[in-house]
Structure 1
């Protein structure tokens, strides 16, 4: 099973609550491909770290690399769990369709690439 600690070499930073990488570790990050309903969405290495302008705001080192990919802390019982959060939603256009039924049987969500999907800045 994929483990961000051992896969990335990140070390848990208790002051921030995220895994921290050194520059060498960051430079070794590979794109993370999420397969959702048959489509693949790529999170570049830059999309996998906290925006560096926020490092100090969360109690970290201004020059650090903090992964926003982490263990949820509990197993769901099936596969690898992710919350598609801010970084993903900043890079992919999302459309929510709640359908006509109030019981949500027709609800769905769609994603598409934007000009920011593969941005090298964060």
Structure 2
């Protein structure tokens, strides 16, 4: 759903979401009634890292992409964890999130 909402396509050589124009929209999702958001600066691959993926050219790439046919809708990964505090309460089998300062 991310690709159809954002206008991107999966790049076959990297597996990343690829855009011909720079996305300007914030990506938001809701967990337990609380909305969490990532800005383009947070979810786009920095151009300085393109060489690590063998990327060249003037397209834009995102760490966020559709889960495909695997049935995975969303994985809370590095970009989310860089921007939100996570508390793992193993005693009560729960996870909490808070905005980073």
TM-score in terms of structure 2 length = 0.82
**Residue of structure 2 equivalent to 1:102:** none
Distance 1:11 1:34, change over 3 A: closer
Q: Kindly provide the CA deviation profile for residues 16-75 of structure 1, in whole angstroms up to 9, marking residues without a partner as x.
A: 1212112x342xx32122211121111112222223322110111275421222121225
Structure ID, larger Rg: 1
1:5 aligns with 2:31: no
1:83 matches 2:75: yes
TM norm structure 1: 0.70
Q: Give the alignment of 1:34-45 within 5 angstroms.
A: 34-45=29-40
Maintained 8 Å contact 1:52/1:64 = no
Higher strand share: 2
Shift in Å at residue 4 of structure 1? 2.8
Q: Deviation digits for residues 67-106 of structure 1, max 9, x if unmatched?
A: 2221212253xxx81101000000001111100xxxxxx2
Contact 2:10–2:65 (8 Å) recurs in 1: no
Q: How many aligned residue pairs are there?
A: 101
Dislocated runs of 4+, deviation >4 Å: none
